[in-house]
Amino acid sequence: MQSPIPAYLARVVSQVQADVGGAVADYIPELATADPEHTALAIALPDGHRYLAGDADVAFSIQSMSKPFTYGLAITDNGLPAVLDKVGVEPSGEAFNEISLDASGRPRNPMINAGAIATHSLVHGADSAQRFERLRRLYSACAGRDLSVDERVYTSEAATGHRNIAMGHLLRSVNIIDCDPVDIIDGYFRQCSVEVTVADLAMMAATLANGGVQPLTGEAILDRHAVRQMLSVMTTCGMYDAAGDWLSVVGIPAKSGVAGGIIGVLPGQIGIAAFSPRLDRHGNSVRGVAMFERLSDDLGMHLM
């Protein structure tokens, strides 16, 4: 018998396509060239089955969806206590690009830009290139294919990311970053520019759902404790100043990116990825949020 899943996912995609709310991110000029009508949805299961719908072959930059994975590698490299010394785990309730530091200068969590920049600096590597290469390999191992940087997005963000560059220097001034902030920011921009599709992202999410073991290759990429920490901060901080609203309505640990992607993870059950470039005022994809709401509702995926 044919699986009913592809037709269901295609229906969810078509149901949100009338929604033209929100706006494509333009503070990174290259992102403004995205086709706002693109809409895609993918799910992947811990047994490796993957189902795709809509514009599933359209590539876009991973942006902030890279942040939990970088956090996982920082924990693997340093141990959790050392990471907690530099980056907190409290939701900031503020926008993703806010300078949300606590009294000791620690970014409040690793999902906002300040915390993600600090987290990037904790990844081991002799230099910026090596640090980034280790991250690229981690993302690729989770996706199950070799991922690369969209150089146009990278160049565009590097040329305009003055706020992040300033944040790097600020974090260096309070000793949260202890190496050259220019190198760290460059690596952070590269990390955000890695090109993915919803098929890649669903498999990355399914790797987390599967306790850090890639469903197709069987490779143990991240240990269980790192994954637990990653999912914890995704739950409380992954959707920024909409995190409470998201958790109560959708109820799935998740992370969004400004190119329009959202990943969601239900431990032991499923990895989900949605994509559509128009964003709401929090920087989360409008159609992506709508697709997750439908999945959660239709399939009873809310954690609670």
Candidate segments 13-21, 174-182, 215-223, 252-260, binder of ligand DON by CB under 6 A: 252-260
In the complex with ligand DON, the residue whose CB is nearer, 54 or 261, is 261
Q: Which long-range contacts (CB under 8 A, 24 or more apart) does 106-109 make?
A: 106/176, 107/171, 107/176, 108/237, 109/233, 109/236, 109/237
| Shorter beta-carbon distance to ligand DON: residue 215 or 238 | 238
Q: H-type helices in 29-161, by residue range? A: 67-78, 80-86, 113-122, 128-143, 151-160
> Nearest 10 degrees: CA dihedral of 55, 161, 256, 29?
-30
Binding residues for substrate, as ranges, are 64, 113, 157, 164, 188, 240, 258
| For ligand DON, the closer CB: 66 or 214 | 66
User: Binding to ligand DON by residue 164, rule CB under 6 A?
Assistant: yes
| 170-176 long-range contacts, CB within 8 A, separation 24+ | 170/99, 171/105, 171/107, 171/114, 171/117, 171/118, 171/121, 174/101, 174/105, 175/105, 176/86, 176/87, 176/105, 176/106, 176/107, 176/118, 176/121
Residue 156 CA to chain centroid, in angstroms? 19
Assess 100 for contact with ligand DON (CB under 6 A).
no
Distance CA 180, CA 182 (A): 5
Residues at the binding site are 64, 113, 157, 164, 188, 240, 258
Mark 265-304 with x for binding to ligand DON (rule: CB under 6 A) and - for no binding: ------------------x---------------------
Smallest gap from residue 256 Cβ to ligand DON (A):
4
Total residues binding ligand DON (CB under 6 A): 12
Least gap, CB of 40 to ligand DON (angstroms): 17
Q: Which region among 14-22, 133-141, 223-231, 250-258 touches ligand DON (by CB under 6 A)?
A: 250-258
Name the residue type at position 193. Answer: S
The verdict on 113 binding ligand DON (CB under 6 A) reads yes
- Is position 71 an interface residue for ligand DON (rule: CB under 6 A)? no
Closer CB to ligand DON, 251 or 257, in the complex: 257
- Give the nearer residue to ligand DON in terms of CB position, either 75 or 192: 192
Please name the amino acid found at residue 219.
Answer: E
β-sheet bridge partners, residue 255? 263
| List of residues contacting ligand DON (CB under 6 A) | 63-64, 96-97, 113, 157, 164, 192, 256-258, 283
